[in-house]
A and B are shown apart, each in its own frame.
Chain A
């Protein structure tokens, strides 16, 4: 059977499974549609959060990101897991106790203000839309790469599948498909990683293999990796970072942003009670960690593998002849993700860091420039071929990459559509709408959101590439502080919360736009986006944490100067703090 047929088989089978689940888990009420009837088991919810959270970026790109940056990019690992500690202790149990359907709804009720709710809706939509465009585009790319269809066509197929289970089943359909998608993606990620770890270190657990001895040389794998890449002029893999302030702030921004992302928060509304919300935070982290503990191992091992493939006799000897390159390089060259140009016409692949510091050595060896480059995604996508694994593993990677993209996209689309049908249509324009009417509105909003996301995925606007800055920055600087203060302070009032959210948001966006261009339009930035220009060395991607602090400070100051919240609001705060009487999400 050809690889193409195997890929079709795996992807097709996984899609049939998702559609089957959709038919089985049809939503009958708005409660089913928004929060899966609030009857999900905490472990099931943990698995679903894992799939919801791990996007095409986590699955395909994260290992490559860490491989390229080494220690410096550990920020992503800590940031995208540490947020769950905040979520599980500071938000999830209390928001579950509150027992409503959306994030803006809590903000609107707690701050007794429709305006606060609308600010939250806008923040939610901007953050989620930015995020979903990347997922849709990622699904299109995964399709085109593995199934040899045009990426727009691939995007449309992906949209049809998501449409099927999310419009029919809402949160209920999404939850159970996410469980299936998690299984597909984690198996696909782990199998090649285990084999690579076995080959390189003899240890079947990649997270341990990474700190074991390299089988061929007998020295620790990371020491070997450091040696090899430094011999070729690259910076040390485990090297420390000078600008610790920026590193800490970036990690905190990712953490706080993670905790404030609505599509993750609403998953905690699906469990039956407060204790379940606490437990599912822990389970979510376990299922996320299965991939996140493996990713850094894949990163270091795949990077070493590429180096030793090109320099089979060590870095002092001549690199491999282009003629003799392994099959996987040939195959991925076709896609353009691996590129080679024989600059000195010696028929060999010189791969090194073209830096000034390395120039004398390159010249001495007769090299006329780096000849080899690869897209970072290769580290995961080509993993099975690098490890000489059979074709079905490649099929699995194809299905896994798509599962990661689809599950995250569906979760985001649900957050967007419930904000529209519940917060805008029912909350603002037509409060008397019947449950049936609202369910229909929710389905239509979902369908529209899918169409818009598909269009934007095919024609990504400039801001789509700024997921980290925009989605995490906004969630950290506006949503998270408002939610947290709503639970932990009885004193913060409507004026204070709105002032805080706007201050955090405006400050964060202005700082980002100053360096990245206003509304990300190229050429409109006031300062070049380089470390010398950053205030105190803080990158625009790290500013969300400062935005959050500003939000807290402004909200407290303004609340102090204005009237205290009414008695019934203080009682509401009191009631979300105590688990007793949570029960089902209220119909209202």
Chain B
């Protein structure tokens, strides 16, 4: 891949958009639901405690897994779409 072809630029933009969206979720579950917004979510009870606690000890980790797989799957599709995949 060389130079600034139109497609190459759009490919990179698509990647940046995907990363940005994923990192927003990443931030919202960990720093958001599990910490900053925990008091607001305290009304929702989960097994003897509240939703924020569940996010802090389980939910954010589960979300991280989904995010990384989703990113890998979407990116591979985008690679194909823009014709930059390895094979």
Could you say which residues of chain B place their CB within 8 Å of the CB of A574? 1-4, 8
Bound complex: CA A251 to CA B34 (Å)? 11
A199 within 8 A of B: no
| Contact between chains at B1 and A89 (CB < 8 Å) | no
| Chain A nearest Cβ from B28, distance in angstroms | 12
A278 within 8 A of B: yes
| Contact between chains at B64 and A285 (CB < 8 Å) | yes
CB-based nearest B residue for A214? B48
| Contact between chains at A580 and B85 (CB < 8 Å) | yes
Bound complex: CA A571 to CA B65 (Å)? 33
Bin chain B's interface residue count.
Answer: 35 or more
| Contact between chains at B61 and A78 (CB < 8 Å) | yes
Interface string of B61-81 (1 = CB under 8 A from A): 110110111011001100100
Bin chain A's interface residue count.
Answer: 35 or more
Bound complex: CA A384 to CA B86 (Å)? 49
| Chain A nearest Cβ from B42, distance in angstroms | 8
| Contact between chains at A285 and B68 (CB < 8 Å) | yes
A-B contact pairs, 12 of them (CB 8 A): A82-B26, A211-B48, A223-B49, A247-B35, A248-B35, A252-B31, A278-B71, A278-B75, A574-B3, A577-B1, A578-B1, A578-B84
Task: Give the interface centre of A78, A212, A281, A574 by most chain B CB atoms within 10 Å.
Answer: A78
Interface string of B34-49 (1 = CB under 8 A from A): 1110110010001111
Bound complex: CA A74 to CA B30 (Å)? 10
Could you say which residues of chain B place their CB within 8 Å of the CB of A88? 68, 71-72
Would you list which residues of chain B between 14 and 58 have a CB under 8 Å from chain A? 15, 19, 22-23, 26, 30-31, 34-36, 38-39, 42, 46-50, 52-54, 56-58
| Contact between chains at A244 and B61 (CB < 8 Å) | no
The 6 closest A-B pairs by CB, nearest first: A220-B48, A211-B47, A74-B56, A222-B48, A278-B72, A223-B48
| Contact between chains at A575 and B1 (CB < 8 Å) | yes
Bound complex: CA A211 to CA B22 (Å)? 28
Task: Give the interface centre of B23, B35, B38 by most chain A CB atoms within 10 Å.
Answer: B35
Bound complex: CA A150 to CA B42 (Å)? 50
Could you say which residues of chain A place their CB within 8 Å of the CB of B34? 74, 78
| Chain B nearest Cβ from A227, distance in angstroms | 10
| Contact between chains at B56 and A78 (CB < 8 Å) | yes
| Contact between chains at B19 and A90 (CB < 8 Å) | yes
Given A282-B72, A580-B84: 16 more A-B contacts, CB < 8 Å: A71-B56, A74-B53, A78-B56, A78-B60, A82-B30, A89-B71, A211-B48, A223-B49, A238-B48, A238-B50, A275-B79, A275-B85, A278-B71, A282-B69, A285-B68, A296-B57
